[in-house]
Amino acid sequence: MKRVKLSQKVHAKEVEARKHMVTQRLDESIPLDSKEWQSVEQILMRITEFAPTSLIAECVNAIAIYADEQAQQGYMLGQEDLIHQLKQRAA
């Protein structure tokens, strides 16, 4: 039992470390100073005139979490595709 719990903790730490690495890599490679992002900022500023700030902050947070998850999944799928291609070339 203790070995299983210990291995689960180690596995969880490894998964968390990989997630952190992916998040850091995405943060470094996705520019926030782009035309698309400026458009989003302008829309959010217009919305703040009508909606409470707390609601907008909650909405922005939900969008950011969703975008992070999608980016991480895309990154992981890209890595899996790369590994698959490298294995095919090596064979």
CB 60 within 8 A of CB 44: yes
pTM above 0.85, yes or no: no
Each of the 91 residues of the chain gets a pLDDT tens digit; together they read: 566 666 666 667 776 777 777 777 777 777 677 788 888 889 888 888 888 989 988 988 898 889 888 888 888 888 888 888 898 988 7
Query: N- to C-terminal Cα distance for the chain?
Result: 41
* CA 87 to each of CA 9, 31, 75, 79, 91: distance values in angstroms, whole numbers, following the listed order: 31, 32, 18, 12, 6
